[in-house]
Amino acid sequence: MKIKSKIKDYSLEMIDQLLEEKKKIFSNLKYGRLFYFIDENVYEIYKDKVKQFIKDDFCLVVPATELNKSYLNLANYYKALIDAGFTRNDILVTMGGGILQDISGFIASTMYRGISWVFFPTTLLAQADSCIGSKTSINFDDSKNLIGTFYPPDLIYIDVNFCETLTPGYFNSGLGEIIKFHFMSDAKGYDLLKKYLASSDLRKNKYFKPIIWSTLEIKKSYFEGDEFDAGRRNLLNYGHCFGHALESASNFTICHGEAVIVGMGFANLLSLKRKIMARDKYNEFEQILQKYYPRFDLSKISIESLIHFLKRDKKRVGKDLTMILSKDIGMQFKFDDIQEREIIDAYNNFIKKYPMS
């Protein structure tokens, strides 16, 4: 996949057994040295293969936590690279999920006013969604993704075999974005989603690679021509407005993609209450989402806390709240007139039907 960007064009390729293909990946690149940022979980699970891959190159093992994505921790990453002698002729290589991607992308966009970096996404969420689109995001204080830039990797290599070792929660997190994008596609994309979800083994069935590729194609169609989030790309925040608030209000105990699943369910309920979405369509979407809602006691999250974080949403433009609502497949719309009383009423209804609430 070739992706056009006003910053720099970049490419994505699917590859099998990535940790055995170092020569193929880097043979056509000109560089001095390679410097690695690696997710701690990936390093521990694939330690022998990772060590063989990086050999004597610089390697920083980073725990993939939202706290490590804080602006306060950035200085440690810059210092590690500078102390190790990183130059503009070198390449930063990131092996991990969205948190490592955000950290690396932000550093790559700001260090020396822009350095080269290569990304190996190892979570389903990163492979099917965040690896393309150029966004980097850093948490500020207790709010998610308030600081960021636009800066894509030079190259992205996806090996779906990494998904075999994901915990159920992290795999489910990736499913959240896959479902979202196919709710935002068309009849053909929606049909592919239903075929994929019908399998008993979602990590290995014949639709696994096609559904990831399809998700990336759908995302690409939304941000082409709107790379910097000025128009249509805003619709990709379907499920994110409430989802980000839920992540922050839960102190990040609910991971991103699962929060998006809840966020879509909440947005759909609000759409139903506003008579934007028909009852039959709401029931159809809810039947899909219910299966993947994280088993979490949602009643522990106060509506006051959620509204607090909804007010901090960077997409908000006025005194009211912002949310992406939905009518049908591929029919999502941005509303900037959401009232607090609507949120309170919908939330009280939502938690009554939420599993294990």
| pLDDT, tens digit (0-9, with 9 covering 90-100), for 240-260 | 999 999 999 999 889 899 999
Domain tally, the chain: 2
pLDDT for 65 equals: 92
pLDDT for 330 equals: 96
For residues 311 and 172, membership in a common domain is answered with: yes
Q: Is the CB of residue 109 less than 8 Å from the CB of residue 151?
A: yes
Higher pLDDT pick, 142 / 17: 17
- Percent of the chain exceeding pLDDT 70 equals 100
For residues 11 and 146, membership in a common domain is answered with: yes
Least confident of 110-114, 264-268, 286-290, 294-298: 294-298
For residues 115 and 185, membership in a common domain is answered with: no
Structure tokens at 49: 């293969």
Which ranges of the chain does DSSP label H, i.e. alpha helix?
22-26, 40-45, 47-54, 74-83, 98-110, 124-125, 168-183, 187-197, 208-223, 240-249, 256-273, 279-290, 303-310, 340-353
pLDDT for 226 equals: 83
Position 318 confidence tier, pLDDT thresholds 50, 70, 90? confident
CATH number for the domain that contains residue 59 = 3.40.50.1970
Average pLDDT, the chain: 95
**In the predicted structure, residue 8 carries a pLDDT above the cut 90:** yes
Domain coverage including residue 110 = 2-165
For residues 27 and 145, membership in a common domain is answered with: yes
Alpha-carbon span 13 to 10, nearest angstrom: 10
Domain end, chosen from 165, 185, 218, is at 165
pLDDT tens for residues 90-148?
Answer: 999 999 999 999 999 999 999 999 999 999 999 999 999 999 999 999 999 888 888 99
- Percent of the chain exceeding pLDDT 90 equals 87
For residues 296 and 267, membership in a common domain is answered with: yes
Alpha-carbon span 5 to 132, nearest angstrom: 10
**In the predicted structure, residue 149 carries a pLDDT above the cut 70:** yes
Domain end, chosen from 147, 165, 183, is at 165
For residues 150 and 245, membership in a common domain is answered with: no
Average pLDDT over residues 13-41: 96
Average pLDDT over residues 294-299: 90
For residues 159 and 186, membership in a common domain is answered with: no
For residues 152 and 174, membership in a common domain is answered with: no
Structure tokens at 122: 């190892």
Residue 341 phi, psi (nearest 5): -65, -30
Structure tokens at 298: 């949602």
Position 78 confidence tier, pLDDT thresholds 50, 70, 90? very high
Alpha-carbon span 76 to 192, nearest angstrom: 44
**In the predicted structure, residue 297 carries a pLDDT above the cut 70:** yes
For residues 146 and 180, membership in a common domain is answered with: no
pTM beyond cutoff 0.75: yes
Looking at the DSSP assignment, which residues form a beta bridge with residue 334? Answer: 324
Alpha-carbon span 106 to 28, nearest angstrom: 25
Alpha-carbon span 181 to 293, nearest angstrom: 17
pLDDT for 155 equals: 97
Average pLDDT over residues 171-178: 96
Alpha-carbon span 355 to 357, nearest angstrom: 5
Domain end, chosen from 165, 193, 215, is at 165
For residues 47 and 62, membership in a common domain is answered with: yes
**In the predicted structure, residue 343 carries a pLDDT above the cut 60:** yes
pLDDT for 231 equals: 83
Position 225 confidence tier, pLDDT thresholds 50, 70, 90? confident
pLDDT for 49 equals: 97
For residues 94 and 184, membership in a common domain is answered with: no
Position 230 confidence tier, pLDDT thresholds 50, 70, 90? confident
CATH number for the domain that contains residue 345 = 1.20.1090.10
Average pLDDT over residues 329-346: 96
Average pLDDT over residues 274-287: 98
SS3 138: strand
pLDDT for 228 equals: 87
For residues 139 and 93, membership in a common domain is answered with: yes
**In the predicted structure, residue 357 carries a pLDDT above the cut 70:** no
Average pLDDT over residues 148-162: 97
